Amino acid sequence: MTNLDKLINILKGFEYSENITKWVTIDSINADFAPFPDNVDKSLENALIESGITQLYSHQNRAFNLIKNGNNLIIATGTASGKTYCYNLPVINTILASPETTALYLFPTKALTSDQLKKIHELNSKLHFDNIKGRLDSLIAPAIYDGDTSVNERNQIRNRANIILTNPDMLHVGILPHHTIWERIFRNLKFVIIDEIHIYRGVFGSHLANVIRRLKRVSQFYGVKSQFIMTSATIANAKEFAEKLIEEPVVLLENDGSAYGNRNIILYNPPVINQDLGLRNGIIPESVKIAGDLLANHIQTIFFARSRKTVEITLRNLQSTYEKSAEAMHGYRSGYLAQERRQIENGLRDGSIRAVVSTNALELGIDMGSMDAIVMMGYPGSIAAFRQQSGRAGRMKTDSIALLIASSTPLDQFIIKHPEYLLERSPENALINPNNPLILLDHLKCALFELPFINSDHFGALAWDDLKPYLDYLVSTEEAYMRAERYLWMKDAYPANQISLRSASAQPILLLCKNNGNSKTIGEVDMESANWMVHPGAIYLHEGISYLVNNLNPVDHVAELSLTDVDYYTESKKDVDIQKISELTTEKKANYQKSLGDIQVTSKVTGFQKIRWFSREILGIESLDMPKTELRTIAYWLTLSPILIKDLREKNLWRNDQNNYGSDWSRIRQLIRERDHYRCQICGIEESGSEHHVHHKIPFREFTDFELANQIDNLITLCPICHQRAEQTVRIRSGLSGLGYVFSHLAPMILMCDEKDLGVFTDPQAKWSEMQPSVVIYDQFPGGIGLSESLYKHDQDLIRNAAELVKQCGCLDGCPSCVGPAGENGIGGKEPTLVILELLKK
Amino acid sequence: MESLFEKLKALGVNLGQENLHIKTSSKFPIDNVIKGEWLHHQFGDLYEVNNLYDYKYQHGKFGIRREVIFTKLFDISRIESKPLSLKDILFIDTETTGLSGGTGTMAFLVGLGYFTENGFTTEQYFLDDPSDEMGLMIKLNSVLSKFEVLVTYNGSSFDLPLLRTRFLINRVESPLHNKKHLDLLHLSRKLWKLRLPTLKLRDVETEILSFIREEDEVPGWMVPQIYFDFIRNRDARPLKGVFYHNCMDVLSLAVIFIHIAELLADPVTNENIDRLDLLSIARLFENNGILDESANLYKISIERGIPDDLPHKILFRYGQICKRLSQPEMALEFWELAYQNGDFSSAIQISKYYEHNQKKYDEAMRWALNGQELIDKDPSTSQSKELAHQELQKRIKRLELRLINN
């Protein structure tokens, strides 16, 4: 019995089985083979056979032929399906036939790039020549060209290499702006390979699409049109996405011919520990619990967490719970420096590291050897990410486990109730917006630096008439010069240096730790996150160690930290204000108005809470005076129509208040009515016949102590009608909050984006919508990245899924899994939220 | 409907001005400011400014020569000097829109210079409008084809790659690949790094040629902005300084060439030779395998007296070369000097010499102990010192044995 079998038995045992809501075993699949295609060079065929490959997978064979016929290709077969051969074979084959051919390979990470170089070298070493003409293996000359490449090597590569392995950043800042010294490469550039394109969505993808536009412009200058070969994990719109990235027709190849072992996919819902509040046991304690069984049975595991903070907290918990194995457990996330990350990757490969807690950085296809188990701490946010993460288990066709532990968030609970959503539905669409004005402007600067623009030029699919305003803009900033509609770069500057492909701001904040006069860089944080992650007084976690932030200096791009051993961590509090700039389009529906427009979001971090470890007690609250950040972006908003509101009032669907206001309530009521002279404080009407009501201004349910709730300042005499109206307003406010809550959790599912790519805000008297009750959802990137636009089209999807989630939730009056915990944003808003959702559906 | 300007401004991009007017003419066009000639060409207009510096002209301490013997210079620079003559050589310096490098930088003023029977002629080609660049490249192609050797200062890393890029971008045939290139920066370094802290063209011009520029001069870093201002406001007056700067660069380049050629052709009788220059040339010859002449220069250096503050490592090297040339007496002189300056390796060399060459073991021992003393006194730590220390220990032991046996 293998270790994995033992673990499976444990999972099926009493300790876990009652919380396992779904267990699917996908049977192993045998490979679908095909012979070598006809035009493969004999020496290449022999090299493959020498490597142990006597035949190809069906998809590798098809790829070869499609490429031979001159197509652009997107290969979207599964993880570890041998996608690399799909492009290496045609490229190497072509070089063998025409040695002057060159190819450019783009990878998103250093680790991937060096893995791929090894693969080419391995194949290269087995290429022998049959007759005596010369050494064949020197015909294939691959080389990595990136930030680490030395000056001498760079010259050699430009002179002699024919397969250039690099990354989008290097292409953007190191190669394209110097294309004249790369002349040989560009003149013979038959192939451009872009690996893992699914990660190039959102901001990064929009930048990359523009880098590709520049690349094609430069290639065209040298008289060449290259073939694009791309690979991707499974996403719904692989073909469409690829076509948007390179702006040319692409053929989709998705039928996977490779083999798989038995794959166990297990959905686990932690038990409820507080019925009324609807609280379940947290994913961190649950992960720590199962880690015990995994470690005991020697099963190498990756834990995928949703946030950097969770990685750190989990790691800390694991190391303190399993002290003996503390050394064999590591965190992995992008804030670590490159060297640390590589050490961890090696430890996974040689088995010395038994458990890694990671954000999604490891989603990328690095050859790690077989990982027996994957634990997903919470739904990773998209079906594609789920497939990628679960695909990391059992890479070498052994049996494997992918375990999803659901968190209390609405989305996770939705998935538990609808496993078919996860297992059967096709993954989401990937979105990019290459024509976002900020991004486009940046790349036009670079493009202009590379080659002049003249009348009737195009930029990718962007025509001259759309280009010209940007070029004229550059003339006005004295970066460009124009005469007779010919634009030249005219500034003593190198624009690509100022532009980062991954964010709005170029330079990250470096985190410096001062210790005994020595300063060490422990990591970095992007500008946008800095205000809420490393504000003065924040506790920053790195590899399980706590650092206190003493100072944040955005001008010098530095945060000063020092080691600390305090017993708490911090969470910051933000104030947000939203203003409408313009409405782009709007549509009136039966019960609501939907709009898409331009808004300005102003945020300010106003303070933070100190939260004790493990017990989660709030130790203190401090206020901060941080600078505000302004974001101008595209947003979708939904405004409740007056008809809907009238409906709400008339339906009167909520139950009557049956709160226990305390034993003193009658006396208090009498006091208040007396104080108010038995008059309604809103309309002035006197009591006649029946007693007026006494209304809590701040709702009773918001208080933990009924004495505070019943203080006379909080009470007011109202006639029954005004009372009902007041209650209705409260209901609307709470219904709206609940709506915002459930939308913020479900919208990312529809848009295949991260939760942090969207901002959500509600206001019963919204400034952006003529003081009507409204929910706004916006792209967290200046100028918008296409998310709100997509939501505008598919908002009924969101509404319907939200309605179903809330309806099916088992809680009493609101919980973290549907509309938000009772008592947090106002009042338990489950009922009003549900009513609103049902009305929105029509 | 918002204009792009307004939109970009709202997104946080704040630099542009809408409706910016670019001037197309002014009271001070280039032909009113500097005397020259328009060259009108189908692909772009150029403005040409020429100057002649005849044989009476003095550039600091030096003048223009009719004859220059540059064979030694070319040999050392690995350029085949037969059958070239002075008229086959072209001197080049460019003024550009920036120093960033890459395809976005262009040369708007190219200064060329060459020798004729009347003296030294400079030809400066100027782009009154950047979009005329193709005309400039075509003209350059035609001029450059008449010469065999191109001489620059730092041109191998700046001017020539830049010109290569400009030819390519304008799709004009480039004559550069079959021309020989001489970058005088490399030789300047080898000749004068002992004497001068920095070796930019201006440094050599001021310190070696003793030439002082006139007030017209503008510093190099201001040049790009002067050009940008000109193309936007069309006032050519500030360009005078740029033309002067460029012309002086070309001229100094030629004079430095003459001076270096003469130094290398005859270092011994050259009246302008500094003691340190003589040593530098000795080293240069040594590195290029011209050993006999090198040794001779070392010998003369000693006769003329070596400056006291010369780093002892250099003296040690000179000793080594003499050893290679089997001129031990001279080697000894250098080594002893080096030892007096604190160099322990020299003491070891002297010890070796006495032991193996002269079989004078007591002398050998004396010098070995001298070396040991120096090592002990030296506070620094290095691998070479450690190795020398170990080697000395062995040597001393061996010498002790020899002395006992005798």
For chain B, the structural domain boundaries read: 4-265, 310-405
Dig out the tokens for B241 from the structure: 């300084």
pLDDT at position A543: 63
Distance CA(A165)–CA(A191), nearest Å, equals: 12
pLDDT at position A638: 94
- The mean-pLDDT minimum among A57-71, A823-837, B259-273 falls in A823-837
| Mutation target among B7, B166, B230 for the A interface, most CBs of A within 10 A | B7
Contact indicator for A177, A214 with CB cutoff of 8 Å: no
Its pTM stands at 0.78
Mean local confidence (pLDDT), A403-407: 93
Most confidently modeled of A292-296, A343-347, B24-28? Answer: A292-296
Distance CA(A239)–CA(A794), nearest Å, equals: 21
Answer whether A180 sits within 8 Å of B165, measured CB to CB: yes
Q: Which residues of B touch A632 (CB under 8 A)?
A: 10-12
Answer whether B11 sits within 8 Å of A484, measured CB to CB: no
Q: Is the confidence metric ipTM above 0.90 for this complex? A: no
Mean local confidence (pLDDT), A111-132: 76
Helix (H) or strand (E) holding A344: helix A338-350
Instruction: Give contacts of B 110-129 with A, CB under 8 A.
Output: 129
Q: Which residues of A touch B169 (CB under 8 A)?
A: 180, 451-452
Q: Is the dihedral of CA A368, A370, A372, A376 positive or negative?
A: positive
Superfamily grouping for domain B4-265: Ribonuclease H-like superfamily/Ribonuclease H (3.30.420.10)
Dig out the tokens for A515 from the structure: 């210790």
Confidence of residue A132 (pLDDT cuts 50, 70, 90): very low
Distance CA(B365)–CA(B352), nearest Å, equals: 9
Residue of chain A whose Cα is closest to the Cα of B168: A180
Q: Which of A448, A493, A632 sits opposite B10 (nearest CB)?
A: A632
Please write down the long-range contacts of A549-555, taking CB distance under 8 Å and 24 or more positions apart. Answer: A552/A509, A554/A509, A554/A527, A554/A530, A554/A627
Query: Is B2 in the A-facing interface, judged by CB distances under 8 Å?
Result: yes
Q: Which of A438, A473, A478 sits opposite B11 (nearest CB)?
A: A438
Q: What's the CATH fold of domain B310-405? A: 1.25.40
The DSSP call for residue A688 is B
Mean local confidence (pLDDT), A640-655: 71
Q: Is the pLDDT of residue A812 over 80?
A: no
Q: Which residues of B touch A435 (CB under 8 A)?
A: none
Contact indicator for B250, B111 with CB cutoff of 8 Å: yes
pLDDT at position A826: 46
Please give the single-letter amino acid code of residue A488.
L
Q: Which of B11, B99, B100 sits opposite A782 (nearest CB)?
A: B11
pLDDT at position B50: 97
- From A585's Cα to the closest Cα of chain B, the distance in A is 13
Q: Which of B7, B101, B102 sits opposite A437 (nearest CB)?
A: B7
Answer whether A451 sits within 8 Å of B15, measured CB to CB: no
Q: Is the pLDDT of residue A136 over 60?
A: no
Distance CA(A27)–CA(A528), nearest Å, equals: 45
Instruction: Note the helical H segments in A418-547.
Output: 419-423, 437-450, 464-476, 527-533
- The mean-pLDDT minimum among A369-378, A697-706, A708-717 falls in A697-706
- From A473's Cα to the closest Cα of chain B, the distance in A is 6
Distance CA(A726)–CA(A728), nearest Å, equals: 5
| Mutation target among B1, B2, B4 for the A interface, most CBs of A within 10 A | B4
Answer whether A477 sits within 8 Å of B231, measured CB to CB: no
Answer whether A441 sits within 8 Å of B8, measured CB to CB: yes
Give the A-side interface with B, CB within 8 Å: 177-181, 183, 437-438, 441, 448-452, 469-470, 473-478, 481-484, 486, 488-495, 581-582, 600, 630, 632, 782-783
Please give the single-letter amino acid code of residue A682.
I
Pairing, β A56-57 against β A33-34:
antiparallel
Please write down the long-range contacts of B363-371, taking CB distance under 8 Å and 24 or more positions apart. Answer: B364/B399, B365/B396, B365/B399, B365/B400, B365/B403, B368/B392, B368/B395, B368/B396, B368/B399, B369/B396, B370/B339, B371/B339, B371/B344, B371/B345, B371/B347
Give, rounded to a whole angstrom, the gap between the first and last alpha carbons of chain B: 107
For A474-488, b/e burial (b = at least 16 CB within 10 A) is bbbbbbbbbeeeebb
State how far the alpha carbon of A794 is from the alpha carbons of A594, A635, B322, B329, in Å: 11, 14, 88, 95
pLDDT > 90 fraction of chain A, expressed in percent and rounded: 34
Q: What is the pLDDT of residues A446-494, one digit of tens each?
A: 999 999 999 999 999 999 999 999 999 999 999 999 998 999 999 999 9
Cα A653 to its chain centre, rounded Å, is 39
Residue of chain A whose Cα is closest to the Cα of B224: A492
Same fold for the pair B4-265 and B310-405: no
Looking at per-residue pLDDT, the higher value among A706 and A181 belongs to A181
Q: Which residues of B touch A495 (CB under 8 A)?
A: 104
Please list the ranges in chain B whose pLDDT falls under 50: none
- Tally Cβ neighbours within 10 Å of residue A751: 26
- From B273's Cα to the closest Cα of chain A, the distance in A is 37
- The mean-pLDDT minimum among A334-348, A624-638, A682-696, B188-202 falls in A334-348
Query: Is B220 in the A-facing interface, judged by CB distances under 8 Å?
Result: no
3-state secondary structure of A696: strand
Answer whether A450 sits within 8 Å of B130, measured CB to CB: no
Q: What is the pLDDT of residues B150-187, one digit of tens each?
A: 999 999 999 999 999 999 999 999 999 989 999 999 99
Please write down the long-range contacts of A384-388, taking CB distance under 8 Å and 24 or more positions apart. Answer: A384/A198, A384/A233, A384/A234, A384/A235, A384/A427, A384/A428, A384/A430, A384/A752, A385/A360, A386/A422, A387/A78, A387/A79, A387/A233, A387/A234, A387/A427, A388/A79, A388/A198, A388/A233, A388/A360, A388/A363
Query: Is B268 in the A-facing interface, judged by CB distances under 8 Å?
Result: no
Q: Is the pLDDT of residue A137 over 50?
A: no
Distance CA(B377)–CA(B358), nearest Å, equals: 28
| Mutation target among B8, B106, B227 for the A interface, most CBs of A within 10 A | B8
Confidence of residue A555 (pLDDT cuts 50, 70, 90): confident
Q: Is the pLDDT of residue A753 over 80?
A: no
What is the length of chain A? 842
Q: Is the pLDDT of residue A396 over 70?
A: no
Show the CA angle centred on residue B163, arms to residues B157 and B169, nearest 5°: 125
Answer whether B11 sits within 8 Å of A481, measured CB to CB: no
Distance CA(A556)–CA(A440), nearest Å, equals: 27
Please give the single-letter amino acid code of residue A73.
L
pLDDT at position A138: 67
Answer whether A473 sits within 8 Å of B22, measured CB to CB: no
pLDDT, chain A, mean: 84
**What are the counts of helices (DSSP H) followed by strands (DSSP E) for chain A?**
27, 34
- The mean-pLDDT minimum among A105-114, A758-767, A786-795 falls in A105-114
Q: Where in A239-278 does DSSP place strands (E)?
A: 251-253, 263-268, 272-274
Q: Of A816, A823, A802, which is closest to residue A278 (Cα–Cα)?
A: A816
Instruction: Note the helical H segments in B51-183.
Output: 71-76, 133-144, 159-169
| Mutation target among B5, B23, B43, B100 for the A interface, most CBs of A within 10 A | B100
Q: What is the pLDDT of residues A178-223, one digit of tens each?
A: 999 999 999 999 999 999 898 887 788 999 999 999 999 999 999 9
- What is the count of residue pairs from A and B with beta carbons less than 8 Å apart? 98
pLDDT at position B380: 77
Answer whether B4 sits within 8 Å of A437, measured CB to CB: yes
pLDDT at position A337: 64
Q: Is the peptide bond before A773 cis (omega within 30 degrees of 0)?
A: no
